[in-house]
Amino acid sequence: METNFFYLGEDLGMGANKLYGSSGGLQMLSQVATNGAQHLMNSTGLRQRQRPMEIKTDQGSAYIGEGAHDYGRPVENLSFDSLIGAQNRSPLLYGSITRYQQQYGPINQPVVMMVGMPLQTMSGEAAKEIANQVRQWLKGFHTWQADGQEQRIEIVEVKLTPQPVGALFDHLLDETGKVIPERASLLKEEVGILSVGFNTLEMLVVRDRAPVERFTAGKTVGVRRLLELLNTQGTYSLGELDIALRAGHLDVSAVLPVWAREVNGEIEKRWGTAMKRFARVIVVGGGALLLKDALTRQFNGKAVLSDEPVQSIARGLYKLLLMKNK
């Protein structure tokens, strides 16, 4: 296996940007705020908070990560054009890579990146153009400042695949990129992959390592839909509600059953009774933690929740890179 490249799995999630490499994984909440607010001096009687990371590029300055929406104008672009380097995506990538290096050490080698894309962006007439734009955005030299410190990285190769593929290979492969022997038979069987992310519910079925297209779909009924059911007046940004949800400070008991029915309804429409024939259903995503009981009932014990449902896609993309470069 080549050793002069740094392999990195990248899950371009709308709720959090996830990275996974040889040292481990990291997620950064997908919150961006333009840096235009004036800052209060230390005020007697008020608790002082550490500001989020500030990313500066030639395009301007932005706060990113948890709490960013408290320090500037929230930028919430949940359309798929945000995945091609729009205002809220480049700062998130740079902030995530900065945090990764702070946690695990500097990345000195050229980077080969496997990127998980939403299913909707990898089908239809615009799929090829979107893929080309993502590669153009990511590939090459990148420079930025993170909290005033100069940062630089080179991405030499960008591979793209649907996000649920990462979940599949996370389940099938070990940390060295080898097939786990007791799961090898799944490569020949029919397996469902269900990803309940912030923005989308994604369904993928693979048989004999090929997708079954009639069972494959993505719907925008992810966790954001749960938050929208709570936020009917638009009082809070989705980012603010997401932080409260992750911290356990948001009471979703009244709307969780409504959202669960919507999600289960979309699964029924796409998979119907055919789901009975699946050998296994791999379930990932932050939303899967909220819907664990409902999904377990729906799949009659065939559902397997990843041990790291939030990081599973990025980790699987990293393992897939290892397998392909052995």
Q: How many CA atoms lie within 13 A of 56 on its CB side?
A: 7
Give pLDDT tens digits along the chain (326 positions). 445 899 999 998 777 899 999 999 999 888 888 865 444 445 445 445 577 888 998 888 888 887 777 777 777 654 545 555 545 578 889 999 999 999 999 999 999 999 998 887 877 778 888 888 889 989 999 999 999 999 999 999 999 999 999 999 999 999 999 999 999 999 999 999 999 998 889 999 999 989 999 999 988 899 999 999 999 888 888 888 988 998 899 999 999 999 999 999 999 999 999 999 999 999 999 898 899 887 877 788 889 999 999 999 999 999 999 999 87
Distances (CA, A) of 80 to 131, 199, 202: 12, 10, 14
Q: In this predicted structure, what is the pLDDT of residue 51?
A: 78
pLDDT in tens, 87-137: 557 888 999 999 999 999 999 999 999 999 888 787 777 888 888 888 998
- The pair phi, psi for residue 159, each rounded to 5°, is -110, 140
Compute, in degrees rounded to 10, the torsion defined by CA atoms 10, 260, 306, 8: 0
Instruction: Please give the Cα distance from 116 to 163 (Å, whole number).
Output: 4
| CA-based nearest residue to 222, from 122, 57, 78, 87 | 78
- The pair phi, psi for residue 176, each rounded to 5°, is -100, 0
Extract the runs of DSSP E, i.e. beta strands, from the chain. Answer: 6-12, 16-21, 24-29, 32-34, 53-57, 60-64, 73-75, 111-117, 140-146, 149-162, 190-196, 201-207, 210-211, 217-219, 280-284, 303-305
* The pair of three-digit structure tokens given for residue 78, joined into one six-digit string: 């949940």
Q: One fold for both 6-163+316-324 and 180-307?
A: yes
Output b/e per residue, 182-214; b: 16+ Cβ within 10 A. Answer: eeeebeeebbbbbbbbbbbbbbbbbeeeebeee
Q: In this predicted structure, what is the pLDDT of residue 49?
A: 59
Distant-in-sequence, close-in-space partners of 201: CB < 8 Å, separation ≥ 6:
194, 195, 218, 219, 220, 221, 222, 263, 266, 267, 287
pLDDT in tens, 281-293: 999 998 988 998 8
Q: In this predicted structure, what is the pLDDT of residue 3?
A: 56
Which superfamily does CATH assign the domain made up of 180-307 to?
Answer: ATPase, nucleotide binding domain (3.30.420.40)
Distances (CA, A) of 242 to 31, 55, 186, 293: 10, 22, 35, 21
Q: In this predicted structure, what is the pLDDT of residue 77?
A: 56
**Per-domain residue ranges of the chain:** 6-163+316-324, 180-307
Q: In this predicted structure, what is the pLDDT of residue 1?
A: 42
Q: In this predicted structure, what is the pLDDT of residue 193?
A: 96
Distances (CA, A) of 81 to 85, 88, 94, 235: 8, 10, 18, 25
Instruction: Please give the Cα distance from 150 to 194 (Å, whole number).
Output: 39
pLDDT in tens, 226-254: 999 999 888 888 888 988 998 899 999 99
CATH number of 6-163+316-324: 3.30.420.40
The three-point CA angle 213-214-219 to 5° equals 90
The three-state secondary structure class of 194 is strand
Distances (CA, A) of 259 to 202, 267, 283: 15, 13, 17
